[in-house]
Amino acid sequence: MFESNFCKVSYLSDKEAVFCEWKKFCKGKDYREPLEYGLKLLNQHKATTWITDTSNGFENDEADSKWLIEEFISQTIDSSCKNIIFIMRDDSPLKDEIYTQKEALSQYFDVKIIESLT
């Protein structure tokens, strides 16, 4: 498991999923390190699902958004991941951003948006 002041990343064996729970805004190394750790978990466990909890989400820094698209997503496409799940409150300020990501990622993954993990 990885945990910082900004993010917690763990493997949920019952769901064959990497679970990434954002706590508050961060950028640079603080943003990328948890995602890189999650990618290692994805590959280590041959997980089929990536779950991101955006309940405490934030808009990405422009440089991190570019890194996410150019580096992280391409590595995730080449992994065992088949499903992406976003946990998002109905009143989330990130609604437009998450739906845009869903549309882009849907060409590679089965993408769902849910209100809670339970």
Q: What is the average pLDDT across 3-16? A: 97
**Position 62, amino acid:** E
CATH number of the domain enclosing 14: 3.90.226.10
Is pTM beyond 0.85? Reply is yes
Q: Tell me the residue range of the domain where 71 lies.
A: 2-114
Q: pLDDT per residue over 64-98, tens digit each?
A: 888 988 899 999 999 999 999 999 988 888 888 88
What phi and psi, each to the nearest 5 degrees, are found at residue 90?
Answer: -60, -30
38: closest CA among 64, 60, 7, 69? 7
pLDDT of residue 33: 97
Through-space distance between the first and last CA atoms of the chain, rounded to whole angstroms = 20
Number of structural domains (the chain) is: 1
